[in-house]
C-alpha cells in the first residue's frame, strides 16, 4: 500500500523541527558549558554572534567544566568548529573556506529539493521521506551557526578507550542519520528494480 505523496510542507516541517532542536541544544550548551551568558557578553551578541574577545585563545566563550556520562565515554563540552563536518577544511584560509561553505549549503539544499520532488509516495520511499528533511534541517542548523557566529558549536564528545571521535552536535546527528536513511533508500529501491 502506497503512502500519500509527501508535500513540501512535510519536508520543511520536519526540517524546521530539526533546526529548532539543534539551535535549542546549542543555546543550552552556551548557557551550561560556557560563561557566555554570565554578563561578559550581552545576550543578543551571544545569540547572533560577536567578534572574538580580547586575548582570543581560539574560543569565543570561556568553557566551564565538562559534563561526563558513562565513565569517560560520553562528555558534553563546548567546542567551536570553524571547519566542515568533523573539522574537515579547518586549515583552509577563511577567504576560501567561507565561500565553499555557502556553495556547499546551497548545493545541498538544491539536491534535497530535487530529490524530494521525485518522490511519488511509494511505500519503499519511506526512508527518503525521513532522510531528506533530516539532512536539510541538520545542514540548515550548522549553516545558521556559520552565518550568525562564523563557527559551528559542537558539544558532544565520544571517547572509546584511546579512540576519540571529533565533537559533534544535533545537526550533525540529523545529517548523518538522514544520509544513512538515503543509503538504505537506494538499496531498497535497487532491490525492488
pLDDT one-digit tens code per residue, 139-160: 999 999 988 888 899 999 888 8
The residue among 141, 128, 144 whose CA lies nearest residue 172 is: 141
The residue among 51, 53, 63 whose CA lies nearest residue 149 is: 51
CA distance linking residue 117 with residue 33, whole number of Å: 41
Choose the most confident range, by mean pLDDT, from 41-45, 85-89, 170-174.
170-174
Provide the residue range defining the domain that includes 19: 8-37+65-192
Distance, C-alpha 42 to centroid of its chain: 25
Residue 58 located in a structural domain = no
The residue among 68, 61, 91 whose CA lies nearest residue 153 is: 61
C-alpha grid cell for residue 141? 542548523
Run of H or E residues at 166 = strand 163-168
Residue 153 located in a structural domain = yes
pLDDT of 13:
96
pLDDT of 109:
93
Tell me the three state secondary structure of residue 142.
helix
pLDDT of 40:
60
Residue 130 located in a structural domain = yes
Residue 118 located in a structural domain = yes
Residue 44 located in a structural domain = no
Residue 3 located in a structural domain = no
Active site residue ranges: 154, 172
pLDDT of 25:
96
- Cα distances from 1 to residues 4, 108, 119, 123, 126, in angstroms, run 10, 31, 15, 7, 12
Mean pLDDT of the chain: 84
Amino acid at each position: 500500500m502506497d503512502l500519500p505523496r509527501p508535500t513540501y510542507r512535510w519536508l520543511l516541517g520536519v526540517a524546521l523541527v530539526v533546526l529548532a532542536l539543534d539551535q535549542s541544544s546549542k543555546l543550552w550548551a552556551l548557557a551550561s558549558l560556557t560563561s557566555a551568558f554570565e554578563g561578559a557578553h550581552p545576550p543578543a551578541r551571544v545569540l547572533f554572534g560577536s567578534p572574538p574577545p580580547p586575548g582570543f585563545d581560539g574560543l569565543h566563550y570561556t568553557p566551564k567544566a565538562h559534563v561526563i556520562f558513562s565513565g569517560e565515554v560520553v562528555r558534553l563540552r563546548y567546542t567551536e568548529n570553524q571547519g566542515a563536518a568533523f573539522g574537515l577544511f579547518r586549515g583552509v584560509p577563511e577567504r576560501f573556506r567561507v565561500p565553499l561553505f555557502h556553495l556547499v549549503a546551497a548545493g545541498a539544499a538544491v539536491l534535497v529539493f530535487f530529490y524530494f520532488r521525485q518522490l511519488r509516495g511509494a511505500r519503499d520511499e519511506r526512508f527518503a521521506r525521513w532522510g531528506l528533511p533530516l539532512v536539510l534541517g541538520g545542514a540548515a542548523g550548522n549553516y545558521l551557526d556559520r552565518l550568525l557566529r562564523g563557527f559551528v558549536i559542537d558539544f558532544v564528545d565520544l571517547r572509546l578507550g584511546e579512540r576519540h571521535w571529533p565533537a559533534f552536535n544535533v545537526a550533525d546527528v540529523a545529517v548523518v542519520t538522514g544520509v544513512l536513511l538515503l543509503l538504505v533508500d537506494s538499496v531498497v529501491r535497487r532491490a525492488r528494480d
